[in-house]
Amino acid sequence: MKRKTVCITGASRGIGKAAALKFAREGFDIAICCAREEDALLATKKEAESFGISCFSSLCNAGNPEDCARFLSGVCASLGTPDILINNAGISKIGLVQDLTLEEWDGMIRTDLSSVFYMSRILIPPMVQRQSGKIINISSVWGCVGASCEAAYSACKGGVNAFTKALAKELAPSGIQVNAIAFGAIDTSMNASLSSAERAALCEEIPAGRYGTPEEAADFIFSVAASGNYLTGQIIGFDGGWQY
């Protein structure tokens, strides 16, 4: 039997890399991309292939629609239409709104929000034709409650949440499930700019008393992907009890 295929954006590090390795370990063929870190992406590919699966990898700026089209054309030619799309690519910037440049705002909107639209709209037609598929959007607690000094990031993730709910209603009649996971503080390079004192203060706010690990995040993504088809249109928190 043909192995199922999962496509993951932003897979050179952090949650994306951990998710790629989790699915590879579980026997899925994988398609992975990132915008710039080609050496890191190839390292992910090599590790994933050690589990005996096929892996298609390519540089792709998920915030660029032409890049998305080129990448997914290669994925479909190499592995067929993915059974699961995980929209994970994202960037963040901490700072006051008045200090955010127009270029930084536009870049974050493209990478964190528009990328979800670009990737989904290409894969939806073949998923509809097949009457099956899952789309999992990687969101954040800040998309639900907002964060001071991360207004742009919060706006993007709030948009991802609303897009998820609306798209799930569109695609449910076609047998396609769309959900988002609102992650809390996960110990990735996105949080590397925090000082040790800031990290300690943040951990004190989290009832679980610690950051989540990328591997825990990956396990949860896999559990959502493996869930029954009646689960759709949900924004699922994974945050150690932090924000809800």
Whether the predicted pLDDT of 149 surpasses 90: no
How many beta carbons lie within 10 A of that of residue 166, not counting itself?
12
Residue 1 CB-density burial (10 A; 0-12 exposed, 13-18 middle, 19+ buried): exposed
Contact 61, 67 (CB under 8 A): yes
Whether the predicted pLDDT of 244 surpasses 70: no
Tell me the domains of the chain and their CATH numbers: 5-238 (3.40.50.720)
**Alpha carbons 137 and 119: distance in angstroms, whole number:** 11
pLDDT value, residue 144: 92
Tokens standing for 199? 């990290």
| Residues involved in catalysis | 153
pLDDT confidence of 242, banded at 50, 70, 90?
Answer: confident
Tokens 């994925």 found at: 75
Q: What is the mean pLDDT of residues 73-79?
A: 97
Residue 73 CB-density burial (10 A; 0-12 exposed, 13-18 middle, 19+ buried): exposed
The predicted-structure confidence for 167-226, as pLDDT tens digits, reads as follows 999 999 999 999 999 999 898 876 766 777 777 888 888 888 888 999 999 999 999 999
